[in-house]
Copies of this chain bind each other. A is one copy, B any other.
Amino acid sequence: MTEPTVSPPITLSIAAVERDTGLSKDTLRVWERRYGFPAPERDALGERAYPFRQVEKLRIVRRLLDAGHRPGRIVPLALESLRELAEQTVDQPPRAPAAVADDGAIGALLQLIRAHDVVGLRAALQRLLADAGLSRFAADVVSPLASAVGDAWMRGQMEVFEEHLFTEVAQNVLRHALVMLPPLAQGRPRVLLSTLPGEQHQLGLLMAEIVLALEGCHCVSLGAQTPPWDLVQAAVAVDADIVALSFTGAMGPNPIHDGLAELRAKLPPRVGLWAGGTVPVLQRRPIAGVEVFHGVEQVPAALRRWRGQV
């Protein structure tokens, strides 16, 4: 471990605050000039370092902004006034042996997507699922199919809406399967699943959830785009042993790396942090205390390791 033994006073970088609050860096700087808030300290390098309390206030400001308030009117208010205001404001109506699906099968599925045959696609997926079972279905069908769709889109051979269509049908089938799974006695580890802001894709998450549930874990999924600070709160609230995140490359290397590092720093040390997805940066720049997965098939082994340690 390379972590320092003494913790510096807790402050966030401007990028971290952007992720946390959804306020752009530009906005943060311009508010500082115009309203005198936030008033970040400066670190050794002269970069903005936002104390935690200010970030807290920024989060509330953000919520009130969404409710129709304007920055100039609320940014100068004291934290308590904001809390009170928030309470009074009501929102109106926010890879396995004997691959089940060889390239031919994937090709056939791609054809169905290109033909926009929703019914046929769903039927084909359900059929493969029933035949192969959940874990192999996730690993041998959905995973490669998602990659194939992504590739095709990159090459301009597939429209945006066709990718959406595929994602939607696949989600339906996977979530259906998830609900069909009989709930297991509340097992360990307890895993919290989500993606970071900026990462929309939930498919990887769903597959991970399925594999974990099959292995007897207690899963709590928060869907896509949960801000880091909320993840930390949630991890504590549901007593999670592991926080699992999924990435697809939609986020860019730096945000991924920084986001993970930030989250690792904020999470209690006893909570594991797992990151999955076929993104180069995950492999190239390992982060201390973050376990990286390149595919769902690695999950069972990691679980065995976890259970052995505890």
Contacts and interface: CB of A to CB of B under 8 A. Distances in A.
- Count identical subunits in the complex: 3
Interface string A35-68: 0110100010101000010010001101110111
A29 to B, nearest CB: 15
A164 B172 CA distance: 18
A245 B209 CA distance: 29
A154 interface: yes
Interface string A7-33: 110101101111111100000000000
A267 interface: no
Contacts of A189: none
Contacts of A309: none
A153 B94 contact: yes
Contacts of A69: 12-13, 15-16
A152 to B, nearest CB: 9
Interface stretch (A218-226, A257-265, A285-293): A218-226
A10 B85 contact: yes
A77 B134 CA distance: 45
In the complex, the 3 A-B pairs of residues with the closest C-beta atoms, listed nearest first: A133-B133, A93-B278, A91-B154
